Amino acid sequence: MPISIERAILIFAGSMILISLILTWWVHIYWAGFTLFIALNMIQSAFTGFCPAALVMRRFGLRSESELSIKQYNSLKSGIANN
């Protein structure tokens, strides 16, 4: 089953937080600003529904949970009709 945008965003955000924390610990404390940026972006996305990463992922062909559910439903429906 293909991965949805919603799940990809969670994977991406979690990965970026881990990377920024590693950079903060081993490179320089100023990398904590990157962690802050990620957190603020997640908060604004929760309030506005706008996520820049989702736009990029959609361009790469990822679809939302609802779009994937509709596609799966239609394929099941056409499979039943053929039997």
**Residue range 8-56, pLDDT digits in tens:** 999 999 999 999 999 999 999 999 999 999 999 999 999 999 999 999 9
- Picking from 24, 26, 43, 27, the residue whose alpha carbon sits closest to that of residue 35 is 24
Split at pLDDT 50, 70, 90, the class of 83 is low
* This prediction's pTM: 0.79
Q: How many residues belong to the chain?
A: 83
- Residues 66, 71, 72: CA angle, nearest 5 degrees: 95
pLDDT of residue 81: 61
Count of CA atoms in the C-beta half-sphere (13 A) of 19: 9
- Picking from 50, 54, 42, 44, the residue whose alpha carbon sits closest to that of residue 4 is 54
Split at pLDDT 50, 70, 90, the class of 72 is confident
58: pLDDT strictly greater than 80: yes
